[in-house]
């Protein structure tokens, strides 16, 4: 039996006169990887910003672990362990890798204590060994792929129940894309983190996801399990480069 961790109910959002989200509803179950798909401008990032508290819906409700968070401030949502890894990574470029990781644990540092934080860092290094090798290197001097690993690792340090990933493969080489998405799957499998994923590489994201929702012009137009979406003629034509006769 599945248990919902996130529920979006009839949410709308407008940038001035422009409606970015139009009464969308969907849910994410605990332990899932769910892909949110759509062309540029479909409203995907706006969804994540509304969930994480960076924007406030103009209508509708958002529930996390059965508690309404629609109007909560972003820092309060982080404290509930709902964590956003934004587009373009946004690591602290003038701080070392290890300091970036410590900052990820900032909101629960006093409660957890230094020993537990250090144990968490070692777990993160187990998933991302390259970060251990580069732990004293400044975040801004890492490669694009390594910065993305650091952004995800910093989010893990917040002990997320739900991780929102916005385009983690953006600007990365194809081989690095595959590596980063494999890490996302490991997060779910080894760290028991639920993931809501926006990803420009539709095929790769559906291969690691359990289910997906497809957005267009601020609305959800299609949903289903990942296998069915991968084989859907409209998805193939729109996103996978296949012409359907």
CA–CA separation, 81 vs 77, rounded Å? 7
pLDDT of residue 244 exceeding 50, the answer is: no
In the chain, the number of structural domains is 1
Cβ neighbours of 168 (radius 10 Å): 25
The verdict on residue 188 lying in a domain is yes
CA–CA separation, 113 vs 231, rounded Å? 48
pLDDT tens-digit readout, 189-228: 888 899 999 987 888 899 999 999 999 999 999 999 999 9
The verdict on residue 245 lying in a domain is no
The verdict on residue 182 lying in a domain is yes
CA–CA separation, 183 vs 181, rounded Å? 5
CA–CA separation, 143 vs 132, rounded Å? 15
Do 32 and 195 meet the contact criterion of CB atoms below 8 Å apart?
Answer: yes
The verdict on residue 113 lying in a domain is yes
CATH number, position 45: 3.40.50.300
Please identify which residue in the block is written with the tokens 């970015």: 20
Average pLDDT of span 102-111: 76
The whole domain housing 63 covers 4-239
pLDDT tens-digit readout, 179-190: 888 888 988 888
CA–CA separation, 48 vs 85, rounded Å? 10
Average pLDDT of span 117-139: 92
pLDDT for res 16:
92
Tokens standing for residue 91: 């690591």
With a threshold of 0.85, does the pTM exceed it? yes
């Amino acid at each position: 039996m599945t248990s919902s961790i996130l529920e979006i109910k009839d949410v709308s959002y407008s940038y001035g006169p422009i409606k970015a989200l139009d009464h969308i509803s969907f849910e994410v179950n605990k332990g899932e990887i769910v892909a949110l798909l759509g062309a540029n401008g479909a409203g995907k990032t706006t969804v994540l910003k509304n969930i994480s508290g960076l924007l406030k819906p103009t209508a509708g409700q958002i529930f996390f672990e059965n508690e309404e968070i629609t109007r909560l401030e972003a820092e309060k949502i982080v404290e509930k362990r709902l964590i956003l890894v934004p587009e373009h990574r946004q690591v602290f470029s003038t701080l070392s890798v290890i300091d970036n990781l410590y900052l990820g644990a900032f909101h629960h540092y006093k409660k957890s204590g230094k020993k537990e934080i250090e144990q968490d860092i070692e777990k993160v290094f187990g998933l991302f060994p390259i970060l251990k090798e580069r732990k004293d290197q400044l975040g801004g001097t890492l490669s694009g792929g390594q910065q993305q690993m650091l952004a995800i690792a910093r989010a893990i340090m917040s002990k997320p129940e739900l991780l929102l990933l916005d385009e983690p493969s953006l600007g990365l080489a194809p081989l690095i894309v595959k590596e980063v998405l494999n890490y996302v799957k490991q997060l779910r499998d080894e760290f028991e983190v639920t993931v809501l994923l926006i990803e420009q590489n539709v095929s790769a994201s559906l291969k690691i996801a359990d289910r997906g929702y497809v957005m267009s012009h601020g609305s959800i137009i299609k949903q289903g399990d990942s296998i069915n979406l991968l084989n859907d003629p409209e998805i193939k034509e729109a996103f996978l480069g296949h012409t359907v006769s």
